[in-house]
Amino acid sequence: MTIFKAKKKAERTVVENLPLDRIYPGANQPRRVFDEHELICLAQSIKENGLLQPIIVKEICEGRYELIAGERRVRASRLAGLTEIPGIVTEYTDEESAVLSVIENIQRCDLNFFEEAEAMRRLIVMKGFTQEQLAQRLGKSQSTIANKLRLLKLSENIRNLIIAYGFNERQARAVLKLPDESREKAVEEIKRLGLNVSQTEKYIDTLLSPVQKKKKPTWTFTEKKLYINSINKTLDTMKKSGVPFESEKNVEDGILTYIIRIPQD
């Protein structure tokens, strides 16, 4: 899917070898976490096979470039000991560069789910997209976009814990159901117990629906009086019907006691 097209510049339509020490990360790079093991593996591949896909940059001044897409490739190339890297120099505006950087990372699945959510939020702010418009641009459903954005309600501390503990997106969404003050303790407990997705969701449900201890009902004076009147009416009905009985009513220390004796014969 092509969102933007670079302005035509004849001498910059081919891949060029660019000096790595003259390439600087873009201000709007959405990715914040880079897996060290993955970078080492990519660096080894680059050593053996070369870099198969050029990076995309724009020239910010003579001989200096801002990276638009390909930061992981740049980092791995540095680990591989390269001094140059193949790249395509474009003339995107700052806004176009930012949008392309976000979309490129999302489409390549190079972001963790929090970074992806933040990248989507940034696109909405930068381009004024609605969730529906963004969903169409990214080839996703509107509900997917909404669920991703909701993850940003988690604090930075909780996000960092979730990523550090290797939780997936469904587990993060489960934690989101809890009130702020309960989330960190729940995350630590999920990690301690080694819960999977299904177990995490059930655990969160138990926190949201704790077993309530049964409490003794409290009665108002009016409610008590209604029951007392009912007893009196019952005794009056028994008397009118000729049912033999004896009754006593005592009040002591705030306790009302009825004693009713009915002969069995």
Q: For residue range 166-218, what is the model confidence (pLDDT) as tens digits?
A: 999 999 999 999 999 999 999 999 999 999 999 999 999 999 876 434 445 56
Sign of CA dihedral 122, 128, 133, 137: negative
Winning range, highest mean pLDDT, from 7-16, 52-61, 217-226, 246-255 = 52-61
Q: What's the pLDDT at 106?
A: 67
Which two three-digit tokens encode residue 57? 């940059």
Instruction: Round the average pLDDT of the chain to a whole number and report it.
Output: 81
What CATH topology corresponds to 10-111? 3.90.1530
**pTM, to two decimals:** 0.54
Q: What is the pLDDT of residues 231-246, one digit of tens each?
A: 888 888 888 888 888 8
pLDDT at site 105: 67
Answer with the residue of higher pLDDT: 6 or 78.
78
Percentage of residues of the chain with pLDDT beyond 70: 82
Q: Mind listing the pLDDT tens digit for each residue in 91-150?
A: 777 667 767 777 766 666 567 899 889 888 888 887 788 888 888 877 788 889 999 999
Token code pair at residue 101: 């950087």
pLDDT at 6 over 50: no
Q: For residue 27, what pLDDT is reported?
A: 64
pLDDT at site 8:
39
| Active site residues per annotation | 71
Helix axes 142-150 and 113-127, enclosed angle (nearest 10):
110
Q: Please give the pLDDT value at position 114.
A: 92
How much is the pLDDT for 212? 39
Residue carrying structure tokens 């008590």: 224
Residue 187 near residue 175, CB atoms below 8 Å? yes
Asked whether the beta carbons of 249 and 258 are under 8 A apart, the reply is yes
Q: Please give the average per-residue pLDDT across 246-252, as a whole number.
A: 79
Residue with more model confidence, 124 or 14: 124
pLDDT band at 223 (very low <50, low <70, confident <90, very high): low
Count of H-run helices and E-run strands, the chain: 11, 7
Please give the C-alpha separations between residue 65 and each of 19, 25, 159, in angstroms, as whole numbers: 9, 9, 32
* Domains in the chain: boundaries: 10-111, 154-208, 221-261
